[in-house]
Chains A and B, each alone.
Chain A
Amino acid sequence: MRDVAIIGVGMIPWGELWEKPLRTIWAEAAVAALEDAGVDTVDLITVGCMSPGLFVGQEHLASMVADQIGMAGVPAARVESACASGGLALRNGFAEVASGLADLVLVTGVEKMTDVDGADATFALGTAADQEYEGFHGITFPGLYAMMARVHMARHGTTVRQMAAVAAKNHANGLLNPNAQYHLKVTVDDVLASTMVADPLHLLDCSPITDGAAALVLAPVDRARDLAGGRPVVKITGSGMATDSIALADREDLGRLRAVQLAAERAYAMAGRKPSDIHVAEVHDCFSIAEIMVTEELGFFPPGEGGPAAENGLTALGGRIPVNPSGGLKSKGHPVGATGVAQVAEIVTQLRGEAGQRQVQGASIGLAQNMGGSGGSSIVHILEVAS
């Protein structure tokens, strides 16, 4: 396998982008990444997008967006693994460059979610759960994560204040990210006073509905060094993916996210790293409880210590292991197919030392964890500054 570097990052402001269609937000992020990389052609485009069919009534997406930036002719493929589609787009691009099948790959993620109303968006997202055994009986994602939260609370004594602390911390980080959807100062008490969505999850424990896109350009490390122009070269040193049952009813243990643990093990093994080596992480905080559980599965904290760690500031900027300096899904927004790509864009920005006010000082090894549905898939990437 060849060493693979990320040579370009493209992010745009996320939010309710009513005046722009999907193809436009995708193109804005893609062009930004190509400009950042200093290349104008690629061998392959991958597009992470969960459900353009349900959100905007468009399939055959990869060809459409390739043409949008004048790259008709270039191979392009949309990949889907629910909310982990972006992470999967990166993993597929990584495999192509590592194997020598492609040199330059444009990895993208996009989702346009606000063209439909709340009920239709809830339905579209709900297709990431097991429709036959979960969706058709009426449960939606807040309910699924609420059940996981209940188990975690009962087993470990995790509290609603600890969950609220995750949301407050991520909103504080989001205030420092100009691309974030919600620039709000949120306190633990604000979270607890917000509308109850699915007990114990309040409205402010939940990530929002977002339009957004993000893009990366991958290249073999040798090529990356030529194009770096003095900036640090960031390598992908580990890539791990795992699946789990998508229905909670089929899980052995509702208090665990096995796909996250397995994906992380595989990524750590490939990179030759362990949890304590990681300086900064972007994780999939679709609900506040998810960040707590994920930081445990990634090995940052022992089981049951994720909640206290968040409450005690261990995951804040300046803490022992800063988690979601971008603001996370909570504040930055969660355009599901774009999330996994944007997480890696943030880690590259951090490792380049270009994150401005939210910079994690001295970060040279970072991790991004993306997750589909209630944990039916997870993808973990480890990135490092090349020596």
Chain B
Amino acid sequence: MTVGIIGYGAFVPRRRIRLEEIAAVWGADADSYRRGLQLHEKSVPGKDEDTITMSVEAARRAFVRSGGVDPAEVGAVYVGSESHPYAVKPSGTIVGEALGINPEVHIADLEFACKAGTEGMYLAQSLVKAGEVKYALGIGADTSQGAPGDALEYSAAAGAAAFLFGADEERILAEVVATYSWTTDTPDFWRRAYMHYPRHGSRFTGEPAYFRHITNSARGIMEKAGLEPEDFAFAVFHQPNGKFPIRVGKRLGFTMEQLETGWLSPWLGNTYSGASPMGLTAILDVARPGDLILLTSFGSGAGSDSFVFRVTERLPKVQELAPLTRVQLDNDKIHVSYGEYAKLRGKIRMAE
């Protein structure tokens, strides 16, 4: 049975904060962050935007592109995030309710730092492949947290991507050719219960964590699928900043031409669970029939999920049906001051 993406959508909040605005508050050197991390600005969730609302927006767009799939026929919903609004109480139930999917559905919230989104995608496609459900929805969404003044504050951003999986041949936009995961216990980034902000192992998050897992996962899936870097039209890797995805891509043998379409982080920031999935939506927005796409996520802790997709004849027919990811990223921006950002991110202590 052929399983594939039958609908996809992304949501980018309109608000942005420039790197200079953050650096000025902390007396930091904006140029060195721009050079070192290749970041210019990042998205900021508005007062009424959180992991749940962004998941709903992205998923609605996935349904629009699905050619009329009845939400009630979706048998599974997985929301991957490290910023679920509730510590106990699922995001997915609200998402399912808002989309008209409930109640005959299996729903779960997932968390695995920045790779919870691709976990949802993996589970969704696997259940469809197994014949357990007709359609399944995998979502990656985050309003990610960086401690004030920490290096993460320059990148932690907000956004969502949703993918509807199914096996109806006539609906498939991009067939799942292969999947592969590579996981170890590598404590490079964590947040314990009741901590407001995550902690990270600084440079330890680089080679032993991000680069090692992505490299092994991407090489593993290419070996499994019998493919080489030059076989792909596009590749997207987890994008915690602007620099890492290009460095790992080039190390694996990909060219800038293959990498730049899904490379959103310089102007979007790190949307954590949404990061590589949103890059995939930007690729699906422009990909042509027959194109092969490599997606490799990374989640601290640590692991990488990889997917190879092959684009079908149907994709070009649905690309324009919902807002394109780049269009959302490049237009209608509202730049906020650090003060507004602090208010929106709940960093100001209010009267009790």
Contacts and interface: CB of A to CB of B under 8 A. Distances in A.
Interface of A: 16, 18-19, 114, 117-118, 194-196, 203
B197 to A, nearest CB: 14
A195 B29 contact: yes
Nearest to B208: A18
Contacts of B204: 16, 18, 114
Q: What interface size band does chain B fall in?
A: under 10
A151 to B, nearest CB: 25
Contacts, number: 17
Contacts of A114: 203-204
Nearest to A197: B29
A175 B294 CA distance: 37
Contact of A16 (B29, B199, B203): B203
17 contacts: A16-B203, A16-B204, A16-B207, A18-B204, A18-B208, A19-B208, A114-B203, A114-B204, A117-B199, A117-B201, A117-B202, A118-B202, A194-B32, A195-B29, A195-B32, A196-B29, A203-B32
Contacts of A203: 32
Q: Identify the 4 closest CB pairs spanning chains A and B, nearest first.
A: A195-B32, A195-B29, A117-B202, A18-B208
Contacts of B203: 16, 114
A179 B199 CA distance: 31
A77 B151 CA distance: 40
A117 B150 CA distance: 12
Interface in B171-212: 199, 201-204, 207-208
Contacts of A194: 32
A19 B32 CA distance: 29
B301 to A, nearest CB: 16
A114 B32 CA distance: 22
A196 B29 CA distance: 8
A18 B202 CA distance: 12
A195 B199 CA distance: 24
Nearest to B206: A16
A16 B203 CA distance: 9
Most central of B202, B204, B207, B208 by chain A CB within 10 Å = B202
B37 to A, nearest CB: 13
Contacts of B29: 195-196
Nearest to A209: B203
Contacts of B199: 117
A195 B37 CA distance: 14
Contacts of A195: 29, 32
Contacts of B32: 194-195, 203
Contacts of B208: 18-19
Interface in B218-252: none
Contacts of B207: 16
A118 B204 CA distance: 11
A298 to B, nearest CB: 34
Given A19-B208, A117-B199, 10 more contacts: A16-B207, A18-B208, A114-B203, A114-B204, A117-B201, A118-B202, A194-B32, A195-B29, A195-B32, A203-B32
